Structures are given as C-alpha cells and as structure tokens.
Structure 1
Amino acid sequence: MDTQQFREFGKAAVDYIADYFETIRDRPVLPSVEPGYLGDLLPKEPPQTGESWQDVLQDVDRIIMPGLTHWHSPKFHAFYPTANSFPAVVGEMLSAGFGCVGLSWIASPAYTELEVVMMNWLGKLLDLPEEFLNSSEGPGGGIIQGSASEVTFIGLLAAKEKKVKDLMEQNPDLKESDIKGKLVAYTSDQSNSSVEKAGLLGSMPMRLIPSNDEGQLSSGAFIEAIRKDKEAGLIPCYLVACLGTTPTCAFDDLTELGPICNRENIWLHVDAAYAGAAFACPEYRYLMKGVEYADSFNFNPHKWMLVNFDCSAMWVKNAKYLVEAFNVQRIYLKDQHKDLAPEYRHWQISLGRRFRALKLWFVLKIYGVEGIQKYIRDQIGLAKKFEELVNNDNRFEVCTSSMGLVTFRLKGEDSLTKSLLEKIDQRKNIFMVPGHFKNKFVLRFVICSRLSTEEDVKYSWEEIRDQADEVVPTERRKIVEEISGKRSIATIELYESAIEKIKLEKSK
C-alpha cells in the first residue's frame, strides 16, 4: 500500500467511524451472535494474495460489526464507561502513524517529555498534593500505565520490595525468603476483581475485609485483620483503598485508613479508577480527603475523561521504590540523561511503551478544564435524573446513587429483579449488569456514553418499566386485566379506555 492508497483508506476509515457514531443509537446495543460465529465467516487459511482495502472495509461491516457490543451507545449502562472522543481517536492515529517505541528517553524524547508534562497537568487538574507531581522538588512523579489492574500489581510489587529491604536493613540476619512468604495485603470486599488478582500474581495473600453498610472498608475491621495477622507471625505490607468501588461507587475513608497504614508501615495505594475523574470538579474533592497519606494513587482517564483506552494515570510519592523493583540494566539501554528525565521503563513491567500522552494532550487541549468539568457534571446530572425516575415508581427502590452509577431493584424477593433482568437481556434494547448490595440482588445503571442525553435516559427507563410490567404489573395494568381478561394489552389507548369505562360505571 503506497501513500496515496493509505490516504484513501484512512479517509474512508474516518468516514466509517463518523458514520458509526451518527447511527449508533439505531443499533441494538448487544450483538445477536453465538460463540464461534466468526470462524464460520472466515476462510480456514490465510489469503495467498492480498485484497483491496475496499474489500477489507466491507468485511469489517459484514463480519466484525455484527459481533460488537456497542459500549458507546447511549443504551449501554453496564460495567463502567470506556472513554471515547474524536480528539483522542486522532491522537491514537498519530501515535500509531509515528510508530516509535518509547523504551528509553533517547528512543523518542517527546514520548517521555510530553508524559511528564501531562501527568503534571492531570495531577493539578485533580488537585493532588504537590509531592506526587513530577514538578515537585521531591522524588515523586507520575506515569501513564495501561490499566488500573497493572497499577495495582505494580504497586504491590514495589511495596513488597520496599518491605523486604526495610526489614533486612533493620535485621541483617533476616533472609529475603524469610520475609516474602509472610507478607500479606488488604482491601475491601467491594474492590475490583483485579485487586485480588494482583495478590495472586504477586504471591501475596489479599485479605478481603468486610465493608460497612455504606460499602466502605471498615477501619475497625482493618485494624482487627492486622492484629490477627501479626499474632500469626505474618507481615502486613499493602492496602488498596477504593475511591469509587466497583459495585456501588462507594468511597473509602482515607482519613481513617491513612494513619493506620502510616503507623504500621503499610504501603497505601488508592484505586480511583472510575471516580477519580470527578475530582476535576472542586465540589467532589472532599471525597479524596486524606490522599496525602497515600504512597501511590491511580485513576483511569480512559474510563470517564474522554481518553480512549488504554490510559491509566499513576502517581507515586517516591519513584525510587519503583526503580528498585523494576530496574534491569543493559548496555544498549544505558541512561544517558540520569536525573534529568525519568526513564519510565524502570517504573513499569514492560520495556517498551506507547505514546499514550499524545491522545491525553489532545483531549486536555481541545476540551480544556471547563469542558471536562462540564462533561462530568452533565453525566452525574443524567444519573440523578434516572434516580428520580426510579423513585417515582413505587414498585422500585433505589439502593445507592453515586457519581454516574445508580443501583436499584424491584421491591420484594430477589427473584423479581432477576426475572426483570432476564427479560431486559432477551430484548437487547439496553444493557445492564447486576450486583449485590446488603446481600440483595440489584441492577447497576451507569451513564456510560458521552452521547447520552436526558431523552436517552428516559428511553432506557421506559424499557425497564415496560419489562417490569411483565413481572410486577402496575395498578393501571391490573385494572385493565380485570376488565379485559387479557394479559397482552399494552397500549396507552387501551389503558385509558379501561379507566374511562370504570369512571363511567361508577358515575352511574
């Protein structure tokens, strides 16, 4: 493919993406395919001769599109948002076009230099303590990782190496193997599954501490877990606190947990993967009070800040613990500008890195602080609108409401809400996933798409309410059924006709 063909293919691809977003509301949010569908549509062997880009793009529409779950549809309310914006898409395109690998400063200085500045911009946007920023005089700083899962694991490995080094300095007779087998980590039972996975990968048991009635990690239960582990000869090492838990977007109290960690010399990592973007708005920063106690902090611009996946922002108070955990030197990787710029390969698991800072720069420049704040506030406002709609139907109850997430259920046995979700899933007009709150089965409704409007929220609520009619009929429907003896009547005209008939009979 020469440059002229590339121009044509690239422009056609941009048109295809633009058309996709213009028609996304008309597409079923969930695909109607079965496992293995793609294997039947593709040949068993790779093509012997190349095909035209026109044919390939047609195959995208014919083969790939039917198998997509449309995460950016205003009808998608599952999991959490995956961010998207056209500035970020263009930044991703340019990054791919440049095709560099940022394995060291000299491998592409712009990779490192822009990331340093962007992490400072982001840190200031969230009002993080100065000591976390690259611009501080201290050893702290920020780096863009791939995901919060990676960050939690990296923090655990750094905490492990730090703990081993500290204890061996205190007691030179100790061996590394004597310590590592006794280390233990902690988190809430409401934390993301990736936190528990980090413990598995890092060979450090992860205690899932029971949360309180608000879904927060209980400081009392944390202290008790530490006491029991120390009595058993174990060594507390790492705590992952959540600012925005996965099930309900609850916020752990850092002002309670932080002093405990500092007193016990436990590395405190703060996971704010989704909700951290809200700290761009000053009115929500009270929720991260106590962040100054943390050793590391993470949130995902690729969740709720309009930056395409993957882009996970991590800050540490002291980067030397990352370097000590991950530093492997080779002559071809010699640091040529020591202490003048970070060598990010020492701050991460992989050697190479992509130019993620470019798409972040595009988003921050084109939206600006005010644009990002407006976006976050609008999304929270839509969640509040949904909460209001739920509260107006006495068959339902709102269980929690935080940021862009509302959990709710049909009153009564869990079987009612499970039946409702089954009916919604069968129709595939909207997509939600369930959760548990206070041992009850709940539905999670998340504002995910940047395209969502109040009309979209009303559409989704009507779909939920219509399916609820099949599970728990409204009083109006009950009246109609009594008169008609039919369960298939579903139109407003018939409802109104039945009610008018009742009024007429009563008047006689």
Structure 2
Amino acid sequence: MTDRSSAPHRGDSPIGDVPAAEFRAAAHAAVDWIADYLENPAAHPVRSRVRPGDVRSALPASPPTHGEPLDAMLRDFHATILPGITHWNHPGFFAYFANSGSYPGILGELLTAGLNVNGMLWITSPAVTELEELTLDWLRQLLGLAEGWTGQITDTASVSTFYALAAARERAGLDVRTQGLAGRTDMPRLRVYCSEHAHSSIDKAVMALGLGHENCVKVAVDEQFRMRPDALEAALAADVAAGYRPIAVVPCVGTTSITSIDPVPAVVRIARQYNCWVHVDAAYGGVAAIVPELRYLLDGVDGADSMVVNPHKWLFTPMDCSVLFTRDPATLRQAFALLPEYLVTRTPDATTNLMDYGIQLGRRFRALKLWMIMRAYGAEGLAERIRHHCELARDFAGMVHFEGGWEITAPVTLSLVCFRHVPAGADEATIATVNAAIMERVNARGHVYLSHTKLDGRYTLRLAIGNIRTDREHVELAWRELRDAAAVVGNAAS
C-alpha cells in the first residue's frame, strides 16, 4: 500500500483538477494494461481467491489527508484490487451468464466517462437522446421487430422489468399514480404471472410496486421447462373468479436456469383475453435473434407490449446496458412523467426527454458504447459470434452425452448446457453432493468457473457460453477439468 504520510504532491494549488499531463500518463498506462489484460485474461485465475475481508483490510480505514499521485493508485490497483477480482472477461468464465467487455465497448465507456454528461433532457445533451433513439432502432432492426417499437436504455433487466410492470399497473386504470395502493377498498388485488423458472427480478418488481409477493403467480411448466399455456389460462380464470385483477403476464425467451423458451404466441393470445400487459423477458436470449436462423425465437413478440434484452449479457457490451423496448411508450410515460418548474425547457414538442420514462433523473450516455459495438462488428459479425457460441454449446453437450456416467438435464436451446455427473447406483442426495464437490474443485483450480441450479429438485451444473474470447479450446478444457474432478471426487468417496 502506498505511503500516505508524505506531504501533498500537488502543492502549487489546492483547487482544480489533477494536471492533464499526470492524467495522460496514467491513462496511457491504464489503456496499455487493459489491452494486455484482454489479450490474455486467462493469465489470471477466473475466480478470485481472496478471503472475506482481505481487500478491505489491506486498505486504509480513513481517507487520505493529502492527495496522492495517480500512479500510486494504479500500483495499489494491481497489488490490492486486482487479486479481489473475479474475471468475467476470462474465456473460462461459464457461470451465470456471460458479461464480457469488448474493445469498442470499452472505448465507448472511456469517452462516456470523459464527457460526463447527464442526458435527462434533450437539451442537456441532444446527442445522448438522439444517439440512443438511433442505436435502439438499429437494434430493433437487427432483432427483426416491427416498426412501432421504441426503446430506452436502463442499467439492468431488473429495472427494465420494473418499468414495464409499472406501465402495466398504470394501464389497469386504477389511478395508483395519484392515490397509491395503501388503504384502497375500491380496487381488487392485482396479479402478475410468470413461469416457475422466471427470473427473480419479476418477483422483486412485483414487491417494489406494492403488489405483494404472493401476487406474483408462478405458472407450471412442461417437460422442457416452458410455461404451459393451459396452466396460464387456468390460473387467470381461477383468479378472476376469486376476485383478483390480472394485469401482466411475463413469458421468457431464455430462462436463467436453463434458457427455456416460453410459447410467446400462445401466451400473448391468452393474456389478451384478460386485458393483460405482456412483457417478454428476453434479457439473455433475445439478442440471439440477430442470427437469421434464430429469428424464430422472437415469434409472437410483436403482439406483446414490452420486451427487455441485455446487450451486456451476450452483445459484448460492458456493464451496464439493458434495453427496454415497448409498443406503448405513452403508457410508460404516463406512469413516470413529472415536470417540476426547474426542469421546464423551451424545446420543440417532437423532442424526447428521457427522464419521462423512468424514475431516474440522472442518465449516463450508455448508447455510445452500444453504437460503437454495432459499428465495429456489424450485423454479420455479431451474428457469427453468437452462432459460434451456440455451436460450442452443442459440441459440449455432445461430449457430455457420449460420456458414461454423465447426463444432459435440459434441452440445449442456445449457448447454455445443463448437465451433471451420475455415479452408478447413486441416489439424488449423493448425486447432489458429488456434483457440488466437482463444481467446487473445478472452480478452485482457477481455469474454469461454473455455477449450478436445481431442476425439479435435481442438482444440476450449468455451463454458459457467451464470452467474446471463449473458443473451442476453452470448452474442451472445461470438459477435461470436469472429468478429472469427477475422478478425484469419486476416488475420495470410495
């Protein structure tokens, strides 16, 4: 850790910024390091090996009295911060869903930080609003969505889903915006419907909107873990008969645990019979529709009201960048727009003020990095990378399928493989223990990082491919690591 007891290194003036020359030198060093790091992120163990408290205890408990040089901070970054990083850019990162930055996206982030603008109003930086509108229309075209969809960039799918369900609540016409929910005796209890395998962000949005967690209704799935239309229709009919008010249905295009694809056309048809808003959670799987032969994934979406996709998951965009598309921006605006006098501007009515479409007033210039990524790779380049990841997933699934003592536990729809080791004669409890031990051993070695889920109560390993730097050699390495770990765990148990 840098010695902080010395006199200030910038003694000529206590005001103003760090000298440009000092910043320039540090920034050049940082960019050089980033380029070297991303050329070989596998030089680091994919999962951090620090123990709880290691990073904090290595840093001073109080802020410095005098300013320190930027190069000292970079030294501390390498010595103290970097060991506490789990490397999502690592080609062996197969846990959760990928979140790999790309050079064009990083360049966009650098420029965004340098500009440091707030795009809350059109007038506060016209380029922020207009580039966001343009970039999201490009994305709309890449996904094959019809004209009439508009989009806005948020930070995460959790926020995008919250906004969509707020619009659903607004469309219900119960004046919740003005009167709230507390103490209301003039309205039924409102309900939202999603599959048993839907993401927890839907539950959280329902809770945050004041609807109550018990009113997030989980709909049964079929043998491929897709929402069952008959179960949805039965749940809606039963709830209406019991006096509830359904307001939204959330089908998924790529569930978190297994990337199952809900039957969106059937869901839309049923939801319309009950006047429900349909919000499609395509945070992970949606961008796969950029691949022409996977365009079918979004069949039926043009009948929905909103959809979320996350470029920071599988479009190589640095965190954070989520896109909420909607065909009803007026209702979304009605849910959130508020204009105090200090935000009144004299701009043409045709301009968009991004602050009107969510709770945030401050808005980063997130569109810049996404725009640069689209330009750097083009539609064909993005499609080829996504296609390659799906091919790698099928190859890995083949390795598992043809190896004795292993099984695939869910259909491989995109670039995620769910699988597990099944020792001969083992019961479910033993299988769970063995697979947990295999995963921990693999993760501890530092070359590969996996996560797990449970499917119908069965402990299952997940290998999710989506990192821009992942190739066949990394998938083959993961399989070798898994087989080696299974042998060690099996020997220890015998």
Structure 2: how far apart are the matches of 1:79 and 1:425?
13
In the other structure, the counterpart of 2:314 is 304
More helix by share: 1
Match of 2:466 among 448, 454, 477: 448
In the other structure, the counterpart of 1:497 is none
Structure 2: how far apart are the matches of 1:378 and 1:224?
40
Distance 1:81 1:179, change over 3 A: farther
Structure 1: how far apart are the matches of 2:300 and 2:328?
18
- 1:337 is aligned with what amino acid? T
Is residue 119–residue 128 contact of structure 2 (8 Å, CA) maintained in 1?
yes
- 1:443 is aligned with what amino acid? L
Moved more, 393-402 or 455-464: 393-402
1:392-428 deviations in whole A, cap 9, x for unaligned? 2111011221211000011243233233223324434
Distance 1:427 1:103, change over 3 A: same
Moved more, 20-29 or 343-352: 20-29
Q: Secondary structure at the match of 2:331?
A: helix
Is residue 164–residue 180 contact of structure 1 (8 Å, CA) maintained in 2?
no
- 1:280 is aligned with what amino acid? I
Match of 1:86 among 103, 111, 118: 103
Equivalences for residues 452-467 of structure 1 within 5 A: 452-467=470-485
In the other structure, the counterpart of 2:3 is none
Q: Secondary structure at the match of 2:184?
A: helix
Equivalences for residues 24-423 of structure 1 within 5 A: 24-132=41-149, 141-165=150-174, 177-178=184-185, 182-204=189-211, 205-400=215-410, 401-411=412-422, 412-413=426-427, 414-415=431-432, 416-423=434-441
Unaligned runs of 5+ in 1: 133-140, 169-173, 474-486, 488-508
Distance 1:275 1:175, change over 3 A: closer
Moved more, 242-251 or 197-206: 197-206
1:377-406 deviations in whole A, cap 9, x for unaligned? 111111122112112211101122121100
- 1:393 is aligned with what amino acid? E
Is residue 101–residue 107 contact of structure 1 (8 Å, CA) maintained in 2?
yes
**TM-score, with structure 2 as normaliser:** 0.90
Is residue 300–residue 311 contact of structure 1 (8 Å, CA) maintained in 2?
yes
Q: Secondary structure at the match of 1:62?
A: helix
Task: Give the superposition deviation at 1:26.
Answer: 2.0
Structure 2: how far apart are the matches of 1:179 and 1:275?
40
- 2:267 is aligned with what amino acid? L
Number of aligned residue pairs: give it: 461
**TM-score, with structure 1 as normaliser:** 0.87
Task: Give the superposition deviation at 1:83.
Answer: 3.4
Task: Give the superposition deviation at 1:258.
Answer: 0.4
Distance 1:376 1:80, change over 3 A: same
Task: Give the superposition deviation at 1:167.
Answer: 11
Structure 2: how far apart are the matches of 1:338 and 1:160?
30
Structure 1: how far apart are the matches of 2:452 and 2:200?
15
Structure 1: how far apart are the matches of 2:159 and 2:224?
27
Structure 2: how far apart are the matches of 1:463 and 1:252?
33
Structure 1: how far apart are the matches of 2:187 and 2:36?
54
- 1:198 is aligned with what amino acid? A
Q: Secondary structure at the match of 1:469?
A: helix
Structure 1: how far apart are the matches of 2:305 and 2:98?
27
